[in-house]
Amino acid sequence: MAGIPGAVRARHMKTLVAGVDALPAANAAAVRARVGPAALAQIADSAGPEWLPLELNAALTRALHDALGVQRSAMFFRARLGEALRAPLFKAVHDGAVALFGLDPSSWLKLVPRGWELVFRGCGAWSKPQHTAPGVAEIELRELPPLMTSDRVWPVSVAASLSALVDAGKAQGAMELTGFDAKAGRASYVLRWSAKG
């Protein structure tokens, strides 16, 4: 990943902004004010497959956290990935996962590296997921650029987003950030789930 400038797919950013616009008006205005008109215009004027600077994703993530708070911003990111799994960009991956693995949330973790590459470039590499106990799996994101390790809010938002894998697996639970080494550019995550009662 060294030498590759960090970038995020414009389609992903447009989805996030559409999610912001669906928030209550006061919340949407607060997020938009924090991101700023120039960044929002850059996202709006981009084409879906285009790559945008990673700074836009970091800025929007921080703005959502500041405007919505920890719990509501986590719910926001979880809902956005849930929607993305049903959208054209991931639909083939989603359908293939169900055909190959069924609905087990840990099986969905195997698809995270490929899905990540569809959305982010030069923004880390995922380890192979490890089952550590029934209903528990661990995974690590390595080689993160300094921009994404300078603020703990971004790796926490990744955990919130990937919690949608539990929902896709028709289970209950969540992904949690369990380790974070900014200097090494590494974030560790644990996915915990159980069958819905």
pLDDT of residue 1: 44
What is the rounded average pLDDT for all residues in the chain?
A: 91
Q: Is the pLDDT of residue 97 over 70?
A: no
Q: Is the pLDDT of residue 47 over 90?
A: yes
Q: pLDDT tier at 115 (50, 70, 90 boundaries)?
A: confident
Domain-wise residue ranges, the chain: 7-195
Q: Is the pLDDT of residue 90 over 80?
A: no
Given CA atoms 70, 155, 85, 8 in this order, what sign does their dihedral have? Answer: positive
Would you state the structure tokens that stand for residue 4, as one six-digit string?
């590759």
CATH code of the region 7-195: 3.90.1520.10
Note the pLDDT tens digit of each residue in 155-176: 999 999 999 989 887 889 999 9
For residue 171, the number of C-alpha atoms closer than 13 Å in the C-beta half-sphere is 22
b/e 25-34 (16+ beta carbons within 10 angstroms → b): eebbebbbeb
Is the whole-model pTM more than 0.85?
Answer: yes
